[in-house]
Structure 1
Amino acid sequence: MLRYIWWAIKIAAAICVAALLHYTLPQRDVVYITSTYNRVVQFGSNSIFWSSPDSGSNVAAGEVSRDVLFIESVQRSGRVMVYRNEDTGFWPPYLKFDSSNLQAEATDLVSNRADPQWVVLTHYGWRIPFLTAFPNAIAVRPTDDPDATLIPWFNIALLVVLFAIWWAIRVRWKRFRRARVDPALLNAGAAYDERSAAAGRWLRSWRR
């Protein structure tokens, strides 16, 4: 039973790590921007999906509403996508402090279906309509090839590094466990069995 519980804990931990990486790592979409705007957003239980107030702003701590910049777009498939445009600060570690500049760049690239100006929009996060969660735009650049294949080299390299670190820790932990933990547990088990046997012999001697 304990074995199954341990495996369930490991699977749950792996799912949590995978979800965190998928949410945090940069993703790129090829879209054309249809409009940019800002509106007041009321924050509630979904505040985990929003960034802190922009760097340098004077929003009071605990404030439940503030102005947020948005970018509306249409993807190659025709699906609409709305991005928020907020500073990230130091987490996630994009060090984005120029949301106003990015908004100006996005506004300059606004186009329409008849004459689309395709752009590569880098973002992180998820679009969850029922939680009013939007991905956060990080960068935008025009492109002449809307069908370009975007290979996430940074994500691949980071995942390889993280896997190498995890593997090194796992190998060292197994060596440490074989050299120190398992012998200690065996000795403790043997000592416990010896004490139990001695206690049993003592009780039997009293019965006699």
Structure 2
Amino acid sequence: MRYVKWGFWAVLFAIVATFLHYNLPRHDIVRIVGTEVRRVDFGENSIFWATPDVGTASATSRDVRFINTVRPNSKTLVFRNEDTGWGWPPYFKLDSSDLQAQAESLISTQADPIWVSVTRYGWRSRWLSIFPNAVGLKVVPSPDTRIIPWANIIILTLLVVILLTIRAMWRQFRERSIDPLLEDAGEAWDDAEEGAKGFFDRFFGRK
């Protein structure tokens, strides 16, 4: 039974960690090399794409903005640039057109690079054809610039505080309500067992 309990908590932890890893903001320092708009037909991977721009109609096929970048180690990284609107995740991004124009103004060459910190959420998977969604751009002085993830620190701290509060409330509720009921049930069971034993002793004539 103990293995089942630990297995349940391990699965729950993995689900929560995966959820947070996908939705929490992260930062990539890159050099923007181009932008483009491509027509995308959505299939099984549609859950990894955001909604259409606010005010436009939903469809299974639409134009999506992309930002092409290169990391300091020369590896490429492509971002999609989609509104999140008022849905999930709650970035309330409504300015993908402005962000695309900003990205185009920051295009640079290897000889004269402009390093940009891209705030994004999501994953890049060539197998699933999914891309992280860029939600912000900021010019940084060098590719070695250290970005402190204040948003993640605050969100994770609040989650820990909430979990500890729920745990403390549950322990108090259990001590005040559940444990006394279990004790009463145990005593009632013992009394019933003693009564049944006395009945059988009398019925079978045991002394």
Q: Same fold (TM over 0.5)?
A: yes
Q: CA 1:191 to 1:148, structure 2 compared with 1: closer, same or farther past 3 Å?
A: same
Other-structure match for 1:56: 55
Q: Secondary structure at the match of 2:113?
A: coil
Per-residue deviation at 1:57?
0.5
Q: Which residue identity does 1:6 align to in structure 2?
A: K
1:81 aligns with 2:77: yes
In structure 1, the residue matched to 2:45 is: 46
2:158 pairs with 138, 157, 161, which one?
161
Give the one of 104, 109, 112 matched to 1:107.
104
Inter-partner Cα distance in structure 2 for 1:167 and 1:26? 24
1:10 aligns with 2:9: yes
Aligned residues between the structures? 204
Cα–Cα, structure 1 residues 46 and 201, in superposed 2: closer, same or farther, change >3 Å?
farther
Pick from 114, 119, 127 the counterpart of residue 117 of structure 1: 114
* Structure 2 gap ranges (5+): none
Partners of 1:6 and 1:47 in 2: how far apart? 34
**Residues 25-36 of structure 1 correspond to what in structure 2 (within 5 A)?**
25-36=24-35
The structural deviation recorded for 1:198 is: 2.9
Name the residue aligned to 1:126: 123
Q: Percent identity?
A: 46
| Alpha-carbon distance between aligned partners in 1 of 2:81 and 2:193, rounded to the nearest angstrom | 67
Q: Partners of 1:192 and 1:34 in 2: how far apart?
A: 75
Task: Please state how far the C-alpha of 1:78 moved relative to its aligned partner.
Answer: 1.5
2:10 is paired with a residue whose SS is helix
- Which residue in the other structure is 1:189 paired with? 186
Runs of 4+ with >4 A deviation? 203-208
TM-score, L = length of structure 1: 0.90
TM-score scaled to structure 2, two decimals?
0.91
Give the CA deviation at 1:207. Answer: 4.6
Query: Aligned to 2:127, what secondary structure does the other structure show?
Result: helix
Provide the secondary structure at the position in 1 that maps to 2:124. coil
Bigger mean CA offset, 6-15 vs 48-57: 6-15
Deviation track 1:94-151 (CA, whole Å, cap 9, x = no partner) reads 1101111111111111122222211111101111211111100001122222211111
